[in-house]
Amino acid sequence: MDFFRDQEVARRNARLLTALFVLAVLLLIAVINLFLAFVLTASQTLDSDSPTAFQLSDLDIRLTLLVSIALIVVIGAVVLYNWIRFSQGGRSVAEALGARPAVSNTKNPLERRAQNVVQEIALAANMPVPPLYILDKEPGINAFAAGISPGDAVVAITQGAMTQLTRDELQGVIGHEFSHILNGDMRLSIRLMAMLRGITFIGDMGAVLMRSAFSHRARRSSNNSNSNTFGLLLIGLGLYFVGLLGGVMAGLIKSAISKQKEYLADASSVQFTRNPRGISNALKVIGGYTPGTLVDTARAEEMSHLFFGQVKHRLWLMFSTHPPLENRILRVDPHWNGEFITRQENLSLREAQASSETGIAQAQRSLAAALPLVMAPEVDNIATSNQQASETTWFDQPPEDLTATLIEEAREPLGAMSLLLALLWHENTPKKQRAAIREAKISGLEALVVQRGRELQNLKPELRLPLIELCLPTLKTLSSPQYNQFKGLLINFVKADGQIELFEWCLYQLVRHYLDPHFIKRSSKPQYAELKVVSEPLTVALGTLALLGHGDTDTSFALGAQVLDLPLVMPAVEAMGVQQFGKAIEQLANCYPLLKVTIIKALTRVAEQDGHISPKELTLIKAIGAVMDCPLPNQVLHNVMLSR
């Protein structure tokens, strides 16, 4: 699955959505103006006691223009309000649907299992672990991902998905949702929600006017009052029916946009988990489960295109937002015999099966998920990779009991802060770093940093990035003053030895990139559609990576430039410091999705000029991908390298 090409498809779908929305609004404006003209003509007929035929020439141009402008302003305001509301991040969408955040230290083994699955797939995707939300009162098997970017995404599952699915099946469902995060579907879905709300809002206005008319009529009984009430009722009824038309158009737009991306997400789930039985069996369980994927929460139908499966029964829907279940199963399991999976209710058994979701067993699973495929091709799938992970010897990893401790510490704010600082620990020059911690006055932090810093001194690069990704979501629970305090401490820690290394840049930039938008509300959109526009930052990025490698610098740079098909010139060494490199990557982050994959291919070509990619180079490429808001799943990196 080419996530970058899927992002480009999502961008084209966004243009299609905008075009359909404009057409729908124009149609609604035309219908409302015709309706008002008809009402005015009917009113004149009643007043004059002589029948008057309605003609288009009777339209009052000034009134039509005023009504059209008013409708555009109202619809635009509703769309803007909902876009601002839901673009705050996936959390606002999850809360609007009545979901609660999963408890990090929960004693519920099934809830802990779900959190662990989200963690493992995030590590395989080389992105920070998104928060998990639970829809407690929903027995149907369903899930959704929401957010604007990977940094503010959340994943939510229903109670039914948590209790009815096995671990492999839950991985398949959550892997499906992660593909929506990576291929740009989430932003499209938020835009779709905001625009469709603007269309259906007209019907809500009509319903309010009708209720007001009935209430007014109940209080007053004069002839003039009855006449006014009738007019109000007629206008409300008209707007209500126009709203129904808007609802039909909204359903048509959702159906047109949503179906194909569900097939793509199912296929992507197979690549994430490397286990096609997970997603296929989950779909078969849904087919044999009476509640299916139904969701009863109030706003589920409005946001139906977000979900893994259909939220309402097909009998009550004019336009379905998801392909038929049978078709989805056959896409991932062509040899399916047509039988669904039926299970007996046995919650205690499933809780017992989930009892190994803590300690060393879970630490092994997390390590296995984090391993790059290019370095561990023998690991077939996340679900069965525990044994392989414990037997690999090609890198130095912490002892299993320490790994389990680190994973648990990453779930707590103090532990997450200490682990990030420990990765920057300099055993040879600790005085300035310890002084920086004392100056920050964070109780208990110094002892933890010193202990973990010594234990993680020799941690290999390929495990450093996953550890960072485990810690970042936890830091979102800090208050703004606490985050600013920690960010200042992090800067002082990086500068303590008088020089900034590339890994230190990676860590700081990842923290800034994923956490700044959470505490400092901002968003960005692609600016550069051609590589030649960003030639200068490309030379800095390729040149820096060429200097880092062990091959011939000029040859490495030339190979990268060849992939980009640009006449680039190797910059001077003094123009390739860490600060210049950071600015270059920030500029490249504003390229369109398909350009980003070309940039990653060029960087990979530079790194492997000497015959292999070192763990240090691979970690840097993955960090660059993350900072460019384009996380690189291990499978994608594997495919990029195979394509050379």
C-alpha–C-alpha distance, residues 486 and 467, integer Å: 18
Tokens describing residue 228: 């006014």
User: What's the token pair of residue 640?
Assistant: 């990029």
Q: State the angle between helix axes of 553-564 and 593-607 in degrees (0 to 180), rounded to the nearest 10.
A: 160
d(CA 285, CA 279): 10
- 177 noted as active-site residue: yes
Nearest CA to 129 out of 512, 631, 640, 639 is that of 631
CA–CA separation, 565 vs 568, rounded Å?
9
Collapsing DSSP to helix, strand or coil, 291 comes out as coil
User: What amino acid occupies position 370?
Assistant: A
Rounded alpha-carbon distances, angstroms, from residue 640 to 111, 181, 203, 528:
35, 20, 50, 23
CA–CA gap between residue 612 and residue 617 (Å, rounded):
10
CA distances from 144 to 63, 99, 365, 396, 444 (A): 44, 11, 24, 37, 38
- List Cα–Cα distances, 231 to 32, 220, 531, in angstroms: 15, 15, 60
How far apart are the C-alpha atoms of 62 and 44, rounded to whole Å? 18
Q: Which of 177, 262, 469, 617 is catalytic?
A: 177
Distance CA 577, CA 233 (A): 71
Amino acid code (one letter) for 96: A
Q: Which residues pair with 145 in a beta bridge?
A: 155
Q: Which amino acid is at 24?
A: A
The helix-helix angle for 413-422 and 445-455 (nearest 10°) equals: 50
What's the CA gap between 396 and 419, in Å, rounded? 18
Residues 6+ apart with CB under 8 A from 644: 604, 605, 608
Q: Report the candidate in 284, 9, 54 with the shortest Cα–Cα distance to residue 173.
A: 284
Tokens of 126: 């080389």
Nearest to 264 by CA among 156, 190, 185: 185
H-helix or E-strand spanning residue 547? helix 535-548
Give Cα 218 distance to the centre of its chain.
50
- Which position has the token pair 């490309």? 538
- Side chain identity at residue 586, one-letter code: E
Read off the amino acid at residue 457: Q
Instruction: In whole angstroms, give the CA distance from residue 143 to residue 171.
Output: 12
How far is 320 from 485, CA to CA, in rounded Å?
49
Point out the residues that are catalytic.
Answer: 177
